[in-house]
Structure 1
């Protein structure tokens, strides 16, 4: 391994790359990782110097607070390669801002921009050969922070580890996605941590999603915890509903994640003259629209899938099939959004950042 130093980032490069052993035509999402990762530790009230080093396991004390009290947050981002072999990030400032909001909510230290964004840029610069050209190909970026302080006292940790790992990715979802609207289980509650990208939010979804899978559905559309009358998110994604020619989506709140893809879809739709109504969306009005034939589309929005069309939904044992449209809002907006990400269209919003 070669040891170098760049400003305050220590860089230890891998002796050899494992990229030649990777089948990029048959990637399983999130299972293959690049040669290097970024690690930075927090102790005594300050962040240390970040280090880029070979991807490898690290040792933790069995009493580390993350194992006992769940202080763990993460982000999901992507890097894209254009036809000129330049690599681009997409709205990284939004992910950094949201990461720190999650940190504050879980009583964890905020991460400085120079570690999160500048460290990420240097890491991807080293790993840019892992970013493949072509629509659908990308490098998935997973920044995360965990509590590493030891002891089983129920209190925030005094030590943390921030880490960024990278995973080459292709298209995330394929085939029809059928969902069930929740009428018992909840993803998040008022006053809780639903708006944070906290690990516990996702583990709590696994059991009800497993039950939905057993009934033949791929995901759940979550409803509010108090009344189960308001539609909020679909699986791990924000969700949009098209009634006639208007797009509806719930406002962000303590229960709903402020999705970067969600915001991008709203901006693109409004730019192109599509009516967007951001307000609470009732289960009853979606069922009524489905029965009347005015419900044209439902789709999820998130980093991994970008936009995931939903073919139908079930509510209280009644299934509603959605029409198959030639020119759907989902396909049109996804095309425009991904063209910006892959630099196939002008980025009039200023969302892309070159590595």
Structure 2
């Protein structure tokens, strides 16, 4: 009987702790899943997607934006601003696919006087199955995802409830409380990069030739086994095509940059997975068909100009360095 009583007591204490954790995480809302119905530039959050929106709001005089996944994060907005004369925000963020990119673009259209959009196109941006919860579950951000790409809220709500008792959420809540005054409202990814060093012969990258080879091999296996086998979403392409048409009708110039893979990555893909390589070529043809007087399509799928395969140009199999980014966009301006 005493043993049974102890079990009930332990279960009760556990339940109270879980309820307390859930209440605490709900009140703090570090991921902006519950209380972020509006855009507040003073709010501390670990939701990097919401942080992108905050930066848009903090720079209403911006005229040019860069939209990309983590592959766009090495592009300096200050360098591109110097090159084009247009105040630039780099809205690239790791994991961004079509839902995220279009949401950021819709927010930018609402808050900025856009003149030019640089779209760093990824094959996998159309695989919306990989969309991050931080873009799908934030009330404010979700509002800007095209309706055709939104998930059912009932499914998202169940996952949200489970996150309230997740230890990662608890750590995020504690972090948010202890870093309330640390809100970075710069011009986006690579705002603090030394773009003059990136352009110089002194820039050697962050990897060694040996470590780069390992990084290329590792990410190649990840992509061919986990990302590329997932089907692209036709609704994502339709939403993208519609948005390009809308932008040009409003006088906004669009530059679509088809980003490259590391030379070893693309060589292996072509040899070992010709079907996936062929799907890339078909996707590129669709992008090129969008070309018009207001839409430029620049294809770097086969490589970066002057690329010597070294760490000066590459971080791994898909992520090019700041030097590589500058060479791509110099050719696109």
Fold similarity call, TM over 0.5: no
Report the TM-score, using the length of structure 1 for normalisation. Answer: 0.27
Instruction: Kindly indicate which of the two structures has a greater share of residues assigned to strand.
Output: 1
Instruction: Kindly indicate which of the two structures has a greater share of residues assigned to helix.
Output: 2
